[in-house]
Amino acid sequence: MNLPSFHNSDSSLIRQAGRLIAEGRTDETLRMIQHSIQARPASGTVWRDAGVLLSAMNRYDEALEHFQRARQFPDCPRQIPLDMARTWLVSGHPECAVQMLEPLASEGLLEESLVEQIVSGFAQQQDWAASMETVTRASRRLPDSEVLAKMQEQVRHRRAKIAFFCGADGDTFLRDILDYARIRYQVRVFDGTDTRQMFDLMQWSDMSWFEWCTNLAQLGSAMPKVCRTIIRLHRYEAYMPMPRQIRWENVDLLITVGNSFVLKALQKWVPDIQQRVAIATIPNGVNLDKVNFASRRPGKNIAFVASLRMVKNPMLLLQCMAHLCQKDPDYRLFIAGDQSDLLMEHYIDYQIDQLGLRDHIVFDGWQSDVRSWLADKHYLAVTSCIESQGMGCLEAMACGIRPVIHNFPGSREIYGDRYLFNTPDEFCRHILSNDYNSLEYREFVERRYPLTRQLARVNEVFASFESNPCRPCQSTTISEK
């Protein structure tokens, strides 16, 4: 037997026992280990050296137990995580070895060669998802490593190909997913103009993701089956008849982002949709790294972030402000959003005068940087008739702003009861109560809607389909339209 190349130790125990192992004298080696531990039972170094020797004798479980004991003592050697990672690797457990990346990086001991060995261990298992997550995690710790960058590219080209189709509704809610997927998979985004180009891209892909359950999703579901097909529905599509046009038997997964009332709306158009397609609810996530938190106190500035459309219920908003300003005329409502509906524009302008709110409402228009605009606001009013989730509200909460939310269908599923109101009087009680805790609002988003959780769940979908690919039709063509 030969000692594994854990490190070039100066330990007398390793030197002496190493010779015994080389001669196959394992019983004597074990007695030497036991004697050393009995002599110095509180030495992390001795426990670590014993672990190295046990690993050299292929007694991996015992070795790991000794490494764990070593970590309990003040003189625990810094390289213990490296010893443990290598022991897990030689025993065929790269999924355990990968957990040592962060501890090693924090000690400045993370080596490119170890990352290569872990990736190789996963590759032998044909686990490309784990291979990619390993090199991605390591790259965050060693961002300048050309070796890891090359390794990441090599793994990416072994992985599934994903096509994304957005259509006229745009990629606003898809950008974080795209950034995440491009690191890990081969990705293309549809920018064609006809069904032939669309089908060509579907044939190229292993998975086709249709953002929005609208026209492109309908066209894609009608194509011959050549790849896994995912449709992500947000909210408004569920309240329109488009879901009836989808060939759900050709769709592998429907992703919704919102509450159970979205599914209830879907069932109006497709009553048996739960029997026709697998459905997963994956809420949108807030990128907390991009949302600056500021601790606030109760104040007089109320924000409303939405275009003034019927579904956002500005009629209720005006009634709430009228009640509030009767109690305290110092409050102001600041509106960030377009007035694109002429009917609603006329109604709002008329009602502002009728309710005496002309000096209490400020129209700031559409904001390219809503987070900066929110800097001097204290409350966020949400009066919508329906929302799937309400990303604007969650981002405001992450900034430290207290939400006051109309009790629309499904609101409790998203926010709980604490921030909800039913009547203008209840709205006023929320605002005037002085119950204010910025950290609570931030922690609510951190706990329930972090972007990391959303991306992890999306990646689970991709990895699942990657390991169980579609068997496409043979010699399939689509004529150009």
Q: Does domain 161-285+453-467 have CATH number 3.40.50.980?
A: no
Q: Where are the domains of the chain?
A: 12-132, 161-285+453-467, 288-449
Do 161-285+453-467 and 288-449 share a fold?
Answer: yes
Give strand pairing partners of 304.
Answer: 335
Q: Give residue 58's pLDDT band: very low, low, confident or very high (50, 70, 90).
A: confident
Q: Give residue 197's pLDDT band: very low, low, confident or very high (50, 70, 90).
A: very high
DSSP 427-448: HHHHHHT----HHHHHHHHHHH
Query: Is residue 33 predicted with pLDDT exceeding 90?
Result: no
pLDDT at 7: 40
Please report, rounded to a whole number, the percentage of residues in the chain having pLDDT higher than 90: 77
C-alpha closest to that of 401 among 392, 389, 388: 392
Q: Across residues 264-285, what is the average pLDDT?
A: 95
Residue with tokens 């690797």: 89
Spatial separation of the C-alpha atoms in residues 19 and 381, rounded to whole Å: 75
pTM of the model: 0.85
pLDDT at 251: 97
Query: Is the C-alpha dihedral spanning 205, 211, 213, 215 positive or negative?
Result: negative
CA-CA-CA-CA torsion for 251, 257, 262, 267, nearest 10 degrees? 10
Q: Is 1 helix (H, G, I), strand (E, B) or coil?
A: coil
pLDDT at 379: 98
* CATH superfamily to which 288-449 belongs: Glycogen Phosphorylase B; (3.40.50.2000)
Q: Give residue 41's pLDDT band: very low, low, confident or very high (50, 70, 90).
A: confident
Mean pLDDT of the chain: 91
Contact 230, 461 (CB under 8 A): yes
Query: Is residue 475 predicted with pLDDT exceeding 70?
Result: no
pLDDT tens for residues 95-106? 999 999 999 999
pLDDT at 115: 96
Query: Is residue 480 predicted with pLDDT exceeding 60?
Result: no
Q: Which of 64-78, 122-136, 213-227, 464-478 has the lowest mean pLDDT?
A: 464-478
Q: Which of 53-57, 158-162, 302-306 has the lowest mean pLDDT?
A: 53-57
Q: Roughly what angle, to the nearest 10 degrees, separates helices 12-22 and 26-39?
A: 160
Q: Which residues make Cβ contacts (< 8 Å) with residue 432, sequence separation at least 6?
A: 324, 327, 328
Query: Is residue 352 predicted with pLDDT exceeding 50?
Result: yes
pLDDT tens for residues 127-180? 999 999 999 999 999 999 999 999 999 999 999 999 999 987 888 899 999 999
pLDDT at 94: 96
Q: Does domain 12-132 have CATH number 3.40.50.1100?
A: no
Q: Which of 115-119, 166-170, 353-357 has the lowest mean pLDDT?
A: 166-170
Query: Is the C-alpha dihedral spanning 234, 238, 241, 245 positive or negative?
Result: positive
pLDDT at 8: 42
pLDDT at 50: 86
Q: Which of 26-35, 239-248, 295-304, 348-357 has the lowest mean pLDDT?
A: 26-35
For the chain, first and last CA: distance in Å? Answer: 70
Residue with tokens 């097909």: 229
Q: Across residues 44-70, what is the average pLDDT?
A: 89
138-161 CB burial, b ≥16 within 10 A, e <16: bbebbeebeebeebbeebbeebbb
